[in-house]
C-alpha cells in the first residue's frame, strides 16, 4: 500500500528491522491488543495490529437469544459505552415494532448517553496523562470522573452497566430530589473540566508530546473510514447525532465541535470541548425535562416481532456505532450486526504510526481512544498494514531474526 | 498557570483524601441502586416468568421444602432461586414479575468463596416478616 | 431527514431501489457493479462526503445465497445508501473494495472470517486468527446458520 516510506524495501533486504511487540497485555489502555511495531532504529516502519485476544462471539449469541435478552447482552459488549449500545439496539427494535418512546424517555436517554460521553472522554484523557508520565493528572481526572459515575448511579441505578434502555422508554425515572443532586454534581465537575482543558492547552510537556504527532489528513480519514472525534479533529463535520437526529437530539441544542489540528493534541482537546458541551446538554435536559411517563410496563411489550430489517446508528463517545437488526418474525433476531467505532478506528489505522518515533506509538494509540472489547465482540483479525513488499512478512521477519 | 498548580497543591494538601478506606469505611451507595434481590414468597405465585426471561439463566425454580407453610396463591409450590454469581443485576426479573414479588436491596458486597443463592432470604419471608434481607 | 433521491446517480446500475428503516436507501445490484456504484456516489457527492461505513454479510440459508450489504454513509446528504448484492452460498466470492476504499479492510476480513466470503484481490484475508483456532481448523464459519456453533 501507498503509505510506506520509499526505503522500506531496502530495509528489508538489509536485516535492520527491529520487531517490537507493544502489548498484548496493555499497550496503553488496560485491554488486550498487540501492535507489532517494526522499527528501523527509533523510526517506525510498519505496524501490524494483531487482535483476537478478546473474542466473545456476541453476534452469534444474539441470534440464539430472544430480542429482549439481547438488550442486556449488547449492553455488555463494552462497559464504557454500554448505554449507547443498548440505545442503538433498542431503537432498532422500536423501529421494527413501529413504536415511539414518550418525550420524557427520549430526554432521559440522551441524558444517560451524554453522561456516558463525559466519563468516557475523561477516562481517555486520564489515560493519556498516564501514558505521558503525568500520573498525578491521571489521578485527579479519575477522581473527578468518579463524580460522573455517581451521577450515572443516581440516574440508572448502577455505576457502570446501566441497563437503562428498554423498548418504549427507559427503566427508571427521575424525581426532583435526584435532579437537584445531579445538578450539584454537574456544578462541581464543570470548573474541573475547564481547568483540565486549559492544562492540556497550555502545559509545555503535554504540548511537546502531542503536537504534530499522528497527523491524519481528511482524505485519509475518509479513505480508511475513521470515525468520531478522530474525524472531527481533522476538520470533518460528521456526527451521527446530527445525521440521524435520534431520540431528543433534535430538541436538545448541541454544538458539533470540529477542529483543524489533525494531530493527537487536537483530538484530546476536542474531547475536552465535547465533554464541556455534554455537560451543558445535561444541564439543559435537567432543566427542560418534559412531564409525563417514561417507564414502560415491560410485561405488556410485544414479545413477537414482525418481519423486517433496521439499520440504526448512534454517536458513541468513540464515533459512530451502527447496528443492523434483521428479524424473520418470531421472538429471536435472524441477524444482528454490530459495527463499533473502534473496529474501524483501530484496525484500519496502522498507517498513522509510520515514520514516528517508537515512543509515540502508545500516544497515538491512546489518542484514538481504543476500546478493544468493543472491537472484538465479533471478530478476531490478523491485520498487516501494507508496505510494497513482494515477500510475505513472516518470511521477512524470520529472515531478519 | 504556575499559580494554578500551586493552588491545587495547597488545596489537596489540606483536603480529605479522595479515596475511601474500604472495607473499614462503607462506600455510600444510592438506596435504589441495583443490588441483591430476592423473591418475597408471600407474593410469589410460582409462574416461572422470571426464570424464562433471565438473560443469564441465573434463576432456577425449586419446590418449597417441607415444613414451610405453602401460600395459597402458589398452587405449584415453586419459587425462584437466584444464583448471584451468575446474576448480572439487570433487574429484568424484578420488572417482569406479574405480582411485583421481588424485594430489592442496594447490597453489593456479595464476594464469597462459596456459590451464593437467594434460597435462605426467600424462605425467610415465608416464616413471616423476620429480616428484610439487609445486613 | 432522509432524501429519497440520494440513490439517483445509481438508477442505471440498480436492479431495484428499496427503502429500509430508518430512512435508508437500499440499492440492489449485481455483485460486479458494487465498486462502480461506490465510485459513482463519490463522483456525485464528493470524495470527502462519502465513506464506506460497514459491510454486513447475512447467511440466507433457505435461499442458498449470502447477502452482502455495503453501507455507505453519504453524510453531506445525511443518509445511508445500502449497496446490496447476493452471491452464491456454495462458492461465495466477490471483488474486494480495497482498491477504492481502505475502510473495507476491517469489514472484509471479518466477513471472510465469520461467513467465509472470499474477497478477490484482498491479500490480507486469513483464518485461524479470527475465531478460536479449534473452530477455524475445522473449517467452520461461525455465522453460517448451519455451523453448529
Q: Write out chain A's pLDDT in tens, 401 residues.
A: 445 555 555 444 444 566 666 666 665 566 666 777 777 777 777 777 776 666 677 888 888 889 999 999 888 888 888 899 999 999 999 999 988 899 999 999 999 999 999 999 999 899 888 888 888 889 889 989 999 999 999 999 888 888 899 998 899 898 999 999 999 999 999 999 999 999 889 888 888 888 888 888 888 888 888 888 888 998 888 888 888 888 888 888 888 889 988 888 999 999 999 999 999 999 999 999 999 888 888 888 888 899 988 999 999 888 888 999 999 888 889 988 888 888 888 777 778 887 787 778 778 888 887 766 655 544 333 333 333 333 333 333 333 32
Task: Tell me: do A255 and A226 sit in the same domain.
Answer: yes
A11 Cα to chain B: minimum distance (Å): 46
Residue C128 has pLDDT above 50, yes or no: yes
CATH code of the domain containing A109: 1.10.645.10
Q: What is the pLDDT of residue A385?
A: 37
Model pLDDT, residue C61: 84
Q: Does residue A373 share a domain with residue A272?
A: no
Residue A69 belongs to some domain of the structure: yes
What class has domain C4-103? alpha beta
Task: For A171, name the nearest residue in chain B, comparing CA atoms only.
Answer: B95
ipTM for the whole complex = 0.87
How far, in Å, CA of A352 to CA of A372, rounded? 18
Q: What is the structure's pLDDT at A54?
A: 63
Q: Indicate whether A146 and A267 sit together in one domain.
A: yes
Residues of C in contact with A337 (CB under 8 A): 54, 56, 58
Which sequence spans correspond to the domains of chain C? 4-103
**For residue C48, what pLDDT is reported?**
83
Which C-chain residues 54-93 have CB contacts (< 8 A) with chain A?
54, 56, 58-59, 69, 71, 73, 75, 78-80, 82
Q: How far is CA A378 from the centre of its chain?
A: 16
Residues in chain C closer than 8 A to A244 (CB atoms): 22, 78
DSSP for C1-23, please give it: ---GGGGGGGTTT-SEEEEEBTT
- Structure confidence at residue C16 as a pLDDT band (50, 70, 90): confident
A24 and A65, same structural domain? Answer: no
Report percent pLDDT > 90 for chain A. Answer: 22
Domain presence at residue A236? yes
Helix H or strand E encompassing C70: strand C65-74
Q: Are A102 and A169 in contact (CB under 8 A)?
A: yes
Question: Using H for helix, E for strand and C for coil, what is the string for chain A?
Answer: CCCCCCCHHHHHHCCCCEEEEECCCCCCCCCCCEEEEEEECCEEEEEEEECCCCCCCHHHHHHHCCHHHHHHHHCCCCCCCHHHHHHHHHHHHHHHHCCCCCHHHHHHHHHHHHHHHHHHHHHHHHHHHHHCCCHHHHHHHHHHHHHHHHHHHHHHCCCCCCCCEECCEECCCCCHHHHHHHHHHHHHHHHHHHHHHHHHHHCHHHHHHHCCCCCCCHHHHHHHCCCCHHHHCCCCCCCHHHHHCCHHHHCCCCCCCCCCCCCHHHHHHHHHHHHHHHHHHHHHHHHCCCCCCCCCCHHHCCCCEEEEEEEEEEEECCEEEEEEEEEEEECCEEEEEEECHHHHHHHCCHHHHCCCECCHHHHHHHHCCCCHHHHHCCCCCECCCCCCCCCCHHHHHHHHC
Which among A320, A339, A358 is the end of a domain? Answer: A339
Cell numbers placing A96: 421494527
For residues A81 and A178, state if they share a domain.
yes
Q: Which pLDDT does position C131 carry in this prediction?
A: 67
| Distance of alpha carbon A375 from alpha carbon A55, whole angstroms | 9
Number of domains chain A contains: 2
Q: What is the pLDDT of residue B130?
A: 44
| Cell output for C81 | 445508501
In angstroms, the Cα distances linking A282 to A63, A114, A122, A188 are: 35, 7, 16, 13
CB-based contact A195 B4, cutoff 8 Å: yes
How far does A41 lie from chain C, in Å, by closest CA? 27
Q: Which of A290, A319, A339 is the last residue in one of the domains? A: A339
B-chain residues near A76 (CB < 8 A) = 88
Ordered domains of chain B (ranges, CATH):
28-128 (3.30.70.3270)
Residues A273 and A386 in one domain: no
Using CA atoms in the order A177, A183, A187, A190, what is the torsion angle rounded to 10 degrees? 150
Q: Does the distance separating the beta carbons of C53 and A322 come in below 8 Å?
A: yes
| Contact between chains at C20 and A309 (C-beta distance less than 8 A) | yes
Q: Which tops the pLDDT comparison, B55 or C17?
A: B55
Rounded to an integer, the average pLDDT of B56-83 is 87
> What is the residue range of A183's domain?
58-339
Candidate from A57, A223, A308 with C-beta closest to C142: A57
Chain A hits for B4, Cβ within 8 Å: 195, 198
**Under a CB-based contact definition with an 8 Å cutoff, are residues B9 and A133 in contact?**
no
Residues A73, B55: Cα–Cα separation, whole Å: 8
Chain C contact partners (≥3 CB pairs within 8 A): A
Under 8 Å CB pairs connecting chains A and C tally to 127
Tell me the pTM: 0.86
Asked if residue A381 lies in contact with residue A346, where contact means CB atoms within 8 angstroms, the answer is: no
Kindly state whether residues A306 and A390 are assigned to the same domain.
Answer: no
Alpha-carbon gap, residue A117 to C10, rounded angstroms: 37
Q: Which of C48, C73, C149 lies nearest to residue A60, judging by beta carbons?
A: C149
Residue B36 DSSP class: -
Average pLDDT over chain B, rounded to whole?
Answer: 83
pLDDT at A282: 93
3-state SS assignment for residue B63: strand
Judgement on whether residues A241 and A372 belong to the same structural domain of the protein: no
Q: Do chains B and A touch (3 or more CB pairs under 8 A)?
A: yes
Domain termination residue (choose one: A301, A322, A339): A339
Residues A251 and A146 in one domain: yes
Cα separation, A20 vs A13, whole angstroms: 19
Q: Are residues A170 and A317 in the same domain?
A: yes
A2 belongs to a structural domain: no
Amino acid at each position: 500500500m501507498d503509505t510506506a516510506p520509499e526505503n522500506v524495501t531496502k530495509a528489508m533486504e538489509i536485516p535492520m528491522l527491529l520487531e517490537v511487540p507493544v502489548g498484548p497485555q496493555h499497550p496503553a489502555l488496560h485491554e488486550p491488543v498487540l501492535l507489532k511495531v517494526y522499527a528501523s532504529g527509533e523510526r517506525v516502519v510498519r505496524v501490524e495490529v494483531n487482535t483476537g485476544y478478546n473474542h466473545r462471539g456476541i453476534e452469534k449469541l444474539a441470534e440464539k437469544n430472544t430480542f429482549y435478552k439481547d438488550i442486556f447482552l449488547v449492553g455488555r459488549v463494552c462497559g464504557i459505552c454500554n448505554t449507547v449500545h443498548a440505545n442503538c439496539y433498542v431503537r432498532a427494535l422500536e423501529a421494527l415494532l413501529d413504536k415511539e418512546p414518550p418525550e420524557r424517555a427520549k430526554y432521559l436517554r440522551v441524558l444517560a448517553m451524554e453522561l456516558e460521553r463525559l466519563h468516557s472522554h475523561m477516562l481517555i484523557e486520564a489515560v493519556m496523562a498516564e501514558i505521558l508520565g503525568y500520573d498525578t493528572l491521571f489521578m485527579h481526572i479519575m477522581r473527578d470522573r468518579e463524580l460522573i459515575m455517581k451521577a450515572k448511579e443516581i440516574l440508572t441505578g448502577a455505576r457502570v452497566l446501566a441497563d437503562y434502555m428498554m423498548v418504549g422508554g427507559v427503566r427508571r425515572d427521575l424525581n426532583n430530589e435526584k435532579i437537584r443532586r445531579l445538578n450539584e454534581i454537574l456544578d462541581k465537575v464543570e470548573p474541573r473540566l475547564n481547568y483540565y482543558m486549559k492544562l492540556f492547552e497550555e502545559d509545555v510537556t503535554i504540548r511537546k508530546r502531542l503536537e504534530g504527532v499522528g497527523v491524519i489528513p481528511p482524505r485519509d480519514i475518509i479513505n480508511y473510514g475513521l470515525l468520531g472525534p478522530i474525524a472531527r479533529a481533522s476538520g470533518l463535520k460528521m456526527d451521527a447525532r446530527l445525521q440521524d437526529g435520534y431520540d431528543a437530539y433534535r430538541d436538545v441544542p448541541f454544538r458539533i465541535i470540529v477542529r483543524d489540528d489533525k494531530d493527537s493534541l487536537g483530538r484530546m482537546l476536542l474531547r475536552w470541548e465535547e465533554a464541556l458541551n455534554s455537560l451543558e446538554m445535561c444541564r439543559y435536559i435537567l432543566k427542560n425535562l418534559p412531564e409525563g411517563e417514561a417507564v414502560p410496563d415491560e410485561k405488556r411489550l410485544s414479545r413477537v416481532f414482525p418481519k423486517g430489517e433496521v439499520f440504526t446508528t448512534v454517536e458513541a463517545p468513540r464515533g459512530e456505532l451502527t447496528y443492523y437488526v434483521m428479524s424473520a418474525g418470531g421472538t429471536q433476531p435472524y441477524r444482528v450486526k454490530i459495527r463499533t467505532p473502534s473496529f474501524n478506528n483501530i484496525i484500519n489505522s496502522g498507517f498513522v504510526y509510520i515514520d514516528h518515533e517508537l515512543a509515540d506509538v502508545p500516544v497515538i494509540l491512546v489518542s484514538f481512544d481504543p476500546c478493544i472489547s468493543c472491537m472484538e465482540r465479533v471478530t478476531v483479525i490478523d491485520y498487516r498494514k501494507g508496505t510494497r513488499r513482494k515477500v510475505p512478512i513472516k518470511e521477512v521477519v524470520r529472515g531478519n531474526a | 498557570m504556575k499559580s494554578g498548580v500551586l493552588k491545587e497543591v495547597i488545596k489537596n494538601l489540606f483536603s480529605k483524601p479522595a479515596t475511601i478506606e474500604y472495607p473499614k469505611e462503607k462506600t455510600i451507595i444510592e438506596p435504589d441502586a441495583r443490588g441483591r434481590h430476592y423473591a418475597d414468597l408471600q407474593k410469589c405465585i410460582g409462574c416461572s416468568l422470571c426464570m424464562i426471561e433471565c438473560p443469564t439463566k441465573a434463576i432456577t425454580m425449586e419446590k418449597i421444602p417441607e415444613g414451610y407453610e405453602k401460600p395459597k396463591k402458589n398452587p405449584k409450590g415453586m419459587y425462584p432461586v437466584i444464583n448471584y454469581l451468575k446474576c448480572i443485576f439487570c433487574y429484568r426479573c424484578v420488572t417482569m414479575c406479574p405480582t411485583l414479588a421481588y424485594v430489592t436491596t442496594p447490597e453489593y458486597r456479595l464476594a464469597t468463596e462459596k456459590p451464593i443463592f437467594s434460597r435462605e432470604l426467600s424462605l425467610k419471608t415465608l416464616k413471616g416478616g423476620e429480616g428484610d434481607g439487609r445486613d | 431527514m432522509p432524501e429519497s433521491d440520494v440513490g439517483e446517480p445509481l438508477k442505471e446500475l440498480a436492479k431495484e431501489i428499496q427503502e429500509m428503516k430508518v430512512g435508508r436507501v437500499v440499492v440492489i445490484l449485481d455483485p460486479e457493479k458494487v465498486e462502480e456504484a461506490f465510485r459513482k456516489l463519490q463522483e456525485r457527492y464528493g470524495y470527502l462526503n462519502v465513506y464506506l461505513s460497514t459491510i454486513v454479510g447475512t447467511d440466507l440459508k433457505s435461499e442458498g445465497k449470502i447477502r452482502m450489504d455495503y453501507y455507505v454513509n453519504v453524510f453531506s446528504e445525511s443518509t445511508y445508501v445500502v449497496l446490496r448484492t447476493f452471491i452464491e452460498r456454495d462458492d461465495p466470492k466477490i471483488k474486494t473494495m480495497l482498491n477504492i476504499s481502505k475502510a473495507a479492510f476491517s469489514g472484509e476480513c471479518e466477513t471472510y472470517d465469520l461467513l467465509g466470503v472470499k474477497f478477490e484481490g484482498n491479500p490480507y484475508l486469513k483464518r485461524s486468527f479470527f475465531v478460536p483456532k479449534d473452530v477455524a481448523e475445522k473449517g467452520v464459519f461461525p455465522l453460517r446458520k448451519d455451523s453448529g456453533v
